[in-house]
Amino acid sequence: MMINISEAKISATRIMSRCDELAKITCATSGITRVYLSKEHLIVNQLVGKWMKEAGMSVWQDAVGNICGRYDSNIIDTPAVILGSHLDTVKNAGRYDGILGVLSAIEIVYWMNKKHIVLKLAIEVIGFCDEEGTRFGITLLGSRGITGTWERKWLNYTDNNGITIHQAMINFGLHSNNIKNAARNIKDIVAYIELHIEQGPCLEKENLSLGVVNSINAASRFNCRFIGESGHAGTVPMSYRKDALTAFAEWIIFLEYTTVKQYPQLVATVGTVICKPGTTNVIPGTVDFSLDIRGPQDILIESLSSIVFEKAKQIAKCRNLFFEYKEFYKTSETICDINLQKVLCYAVKKVQGSNLLLSSGAGHDAVAISKCWPVGMLFIRNYRGISHHPKELVNINDIILALQAYSESVCKFIEIKTNNLM
């Protein structure tokens, strides 16, 4: 089945209005912020669960807080193709990142159910609960629940209010003893296919609505700290100071310069900076900051990070400070399954006339899922590639094409898979 154009129009309109509806579920007074194990997470799961049910799925919330729906085949216990993306957001987010993928997947099932189509594999839609890691700093907690790769030590990680994941789970109505129940058997899933906004400018530049992802960039994240000495802003002479913020300032320019000049394939970002004690009349004693480096190869990331950390130590030494860092997240490059790439390319060419293969600079639930199952990703153009920003925007005509290509890919994949041609 391919969703036809008039059906896709109905679905795309519904998706746009549902994105608007979900955008209202936020903990912020302005903008969208929806984090793991929050009141808003619970409300969104209930609403998306209701939409899944209406589309013809049996629905449950799993042990880590993912909302899951299953559209069964007529073959008992048949494995499933997983579709979906995430429902959590960064701070002050856009309304499509992740959400568009979940809502599109629900539409695929909606039309299958409406047309009484029975497939040889089940389809499951998952609204992953924590891709961004906004609240606890650890990413992909939803998809890593499915793959059974949660680490017990994470339970003690805290949010900005000192609430541990363990406690937040209890407050939400879950319990950490049950986390393992979210893990799925390898044999019960055959593949994961995710639709997501591109979050970059390539499709727009090529004047294309859709593209197929061949790989997702590697990433490393670090918590870093310059430790100096706070002191009186009025009395300590400039030459006596151990100002952690000026050390940081010297370093971050070096980071930018080195990345641009020597590692053009990489991107490096300091996204959080906490300067303590943070008072106008006190010299900054410590600066805590995050560093996120991404690119196509681990070895390049390792090389850049060792250069910039060496420089940080040098700067600290010259200024009589200390520097320390700790890596808290690392993923290698994720290669999308070649057969899924072929199926997606075929479908994209069919609806769009041509295709663009591209790599993803952003991380996705597919990164975690790829550790256990083949993954494929379909990208949809978004306005100027703006994402992680309230101005994130998607064109409804692109969604119409995306739904046709997505449904075509899913059906083709199931056909090929169940005929043992893959």
CB of 106 to ligand GLV, least distance (A): 21
CB of 376 to Mn ion, least distance (A): 16
CB of 275 to ligand GLV, least distance (A): 23
Q: Is 365 in the site for ligand GLV (CB under 6 A)?
A: no
Distance (Å, whole) CA 92 – CA 254: 29
Task: Enter the tokens of residue 206.
Answer: 């090529």
Q: Is 32 in the site for ligand GLV (CB under 6 A)?
A: no
Return the ∠ at Cα 186 (arms to 374 and 359), rounded to 5°: 20
Cβ pair 55, 165 in contact under 8 A: no
3-state secondary structure of 24: coil
Residue 243 binding partner per list ligand GLV, Mn ion, none, with a CB distance cut-off of 5 to 8 Å that depends on partner kind: none
Q: Which is nearer to ligand GLV, 284 or 363 (CB)?
A: 363
Residue from 72, 124, 132, 198 in contact with ligand GLV (CB under 6 A): 132
Q: Is 40 in the site for Mn ion (CB under 5 A)?
A: no
Q: Which is nearer to Mn ion, 65 or 98 (CB)?
A: 98
Cβ pair 199, 101 in contact under 8 A: no
How many CA atoms lie less than 13 Å away from 225 in the CB half-sphere? 10
Residue from 48, 105, 247, 362 in contact with ligand GLV (CB under 6 A): 362
Distance (Å, whole) CA 267 – CA 270: 10
Nearest to residue 99, comparing CAs of 46, 40, 23, 158? 23
Q: Is 142 in the site for Mn ion (CB under 5 A)?
A: no
Q: Is 268 in the site for ligand GLV (CB under 6 A)?
A: no
Q: Which is nearer to ligand GLV, 22 or 63 (CB)?
A: 22
Cβ pair 144, 86 in contact under 8 A: no
Backbone angles phi, psi at 323, to 5 degrees: -130, 135
Return the ∠ at Cα 102 (arms to 355 and 35), rounded to 5°: 125
Q: What CA–CA distances, in Å, run from 390 to 47, 86, 273, 369, 384?
A: 22, 17, 22, 28, 13
Q: Which is nearer to Mn ion, 79 or 98 (CB)?
A: 98
Q: Is 40 in the site for ligand GLV (CB under 6 A)?
A: no
Percentages (nearest 5) of helix, strand, coil residues in the chain = 40, 25, 35
Distance (Å, whole) CA 124 – CA 86: 14
Binding site for Zn(2+): residue ranges?
86, 97, 132, 196, 388
CB of 231 to ligand GLV, least distance (A): 37
Residue 363 binding partner per list ligand GLV, Mn ion, none, with a CB distance cut-off of 5 to 8 Å that depends on partner kind: ligand GLV
Q: Which is nearer to ligand GLV, 107 or 365 (CB)?
A: 365
Q: Which is nearer to ligand GLV, 86 or 319 (CB)?
A: 86
Within 72-101, the residues that bind Mn ion by CB under 5 A are 97-98
Residue 392 binding partner per list Mn ion, ligand GLV, none, with a CB distance cut-off of 5 to 8 Å that depends on partner kind: none
3-state secondary structure of 88: coil
Residue written as token pair 């059974």: 148
Q: Is 224 in the site for ligand GLV (CB under 6 A)?
A: no
Cβ pair 322, 306 in contact under 8 A: no
Q: Is 100 in the site for ligand GLV (CB under 6 A)?
A: no
Distance (Å, whole) CA 66 – CA 340: 24
Residue from 84, 127, 142, 363 in contact with ligand GLV (CB under 6 A): 363
Q: Which is nearer to Mn ion, 64 or 308 (CB)?
A: 64
Per CB under 6 A, residues contacting ligand GLV are 132, 362-363
Per CB under 5 A, residues contacting Mn ion are 97-98
